[in-house]
Amino acid sequence: MNLAKVFFWGMIVSFLGSLPLGTLNIAAMQISVQESVADAIYFSLGSLLTEMIYVRISLVGINWVRKQKVLFRWLEWITFGIVVALAVGSFIAATKEHHAKNIMLNNNMHRFWLGLIMSSISPMQIPFWFGWSTILFTKKILKPDNAHYNLYIIGIGLGTLMGNCVFIFGGKYIVEKLNTNQNILNWVIGGIFALTAVIQLLKILLHKDAAEKLDTLGVDGKVEPVVS
């Protein structure tokens, strides 16, 4: 029963955490509309694999992770640059007469690997899962053994996939139902990416980013709850 509870909590937290607009779920939606649902699913599988690996590392290597503040700072700036590029690419695609793809997505890289790479340089998920894991440890729901860890991580992967599917299928349905011009969609998505970039920059400048949140991690493997 407790193992089922661990799986459920991992899934529901991951699902709800995937619903706010973000770089990965919007990119998945854009891929589903401009390419195919299958490519978008591959992209999501790549991104959730990275997330599952990060969670596993956070559960067994807390002390190592909390010392990587400089690495996290670089990843934050790289993420900001990618989001800006996605915004610019969407705006450029929107100005084309024919249906054009975002230049960041206009490549032959398999979407699984693209999702894995884009997710791997998004460090905000690490303090997010540090916080939730700590809460679940405190509530005696999550216990430090492999059976709990494995089901927890599987639940997280499933929850992320479910959340992304809301954007993949929902976005495609809305576009097809409303017969929305893809140029208009590119303007909208470009605006979302631009807003995301502004928020990301403000977090970095105001020291509210993942690198700073690492300072809330305690010593000797203890973690203070951090909710992102």
Dist CA 122 CA 80 (whole Å): 9
**Number of residues that make up the chain:** 228
Please check whether residue 48 is in contact with residue 160, taking contact to mean a CB–CB distance below 8 angstroms. Answer: yes
Using 50, 70 and 90 to split pLDDT, how confident is the model at 213?
A: low
Residue 179, pLDDT score: 63
- Give tens-digit pLDDT for 133-184: 878 888 888 888 888 889 999 999 999 999 999 999 988 888 777 666 667 7
Output the DSSP codes for 60-113. H-HHHHTT-HHHHHHHHHHHHHHHHHHHHHHHHHHHSSS----TTT-S-S-HHH
Dist CA 31 CA 206 (whole Å): 32
- Give tens-digit pLDDT for 13-45: 999 988 888 888 888 988 998 888 999 999 999
With 80 as the cut, is the pLDDT of residue 9 above it? yes
What is the H or E stretch that residue 190 is in? helix 182-205
Dist CA 142 CA 148 (whole Å): 6
How is the chain split into domains, by residue range? 2-216
pTM, whole model, 2 decimals?
0.74
